[in-house]
Amino acid sequence: MSGDHGSSRISAQVRHVETLLESRGLLAAGEVDGRIDEFLAGGTPANGARIVARAWADPGFAERLLADANTAIREVGLSMAGGLQEQRLKVVANTAETHNVVVCTLCSCYPIALLGPSPSWYKSEAYRSRVVRDPRGVLTEFGLELPAGTAIAVWDASAESRYLVLPRRPEGAASLTEAELAGLVTRKGLIGTAAV
């Protein structure tokens, strides 16, 4: 969430539980902050790009990814385990008929492990509220003009579930290696605010 919530009620409750766990020897002092730092350090859009490139190169992986993303991403050495509980990842594929875009209307839930820290526009009130009401208009502002007949599906992330867009493979990319394919994928493409 935006803003400083250091003095909020929930923040005080979390700190209280953390102090209790430390006093009982179940948690080392600063361990929670250390784990958060480790989690954030490994998060980069290159991780999401690797997933997409593998899906483009390997139809079997793409099928597994769409059926059970949490299990499939382990095949490329990634996971959604960033805290005490693994977040559910759902991958949604763009097609000629449907374009997907991701938002978190409540705050800014986002797959940090796969995309790195979220961009400021993703956290903004303007994006969070407008992309649900006028997704085509918002995508146009990002420079993405979709055909009138293309449906737009908006996926609302939550504390338990995260979404990742599997963009359509670009035409003329059949001869590219997996690494070259990954180089085509952007964070905006993984959120759905750009095409690849």
Which amino acids are annotated catalytic?
A: 104, 107-109
3-state secondary structure 112-169: HHHHCCCCHHHHCHHHHHHHHHCHHHHHHHCCCCCCCCCEEEEEECCCCEEEEEECCC
Beta strand extents in 30-124 (DSSP E only): 88-93, 98-103
- Return d(Cα 147, Cα 90) in angstroms, integer: 25
Q: Is the dihedral of CA 126, 136, 144, 88 positive or negative?
A: positive
Inter-axis angle of helices 45-57 and 59-67, nearest 10:
120
Task: Output the CA–CA distances (angstroms, integers) from residue 27 to 16, 21, 35, 85, in the order listed.
Answer: 13, 5, 11, 16
* Contact yes or no for 32/84 (Cβ under 8 A): no
- The residue among 73, 90, 79 whose CA lies nearest residue 160 is 90
Report the Cα 76 to chain-centroid distance in Å: 16
Number of residues that this document lists for the chain: 196
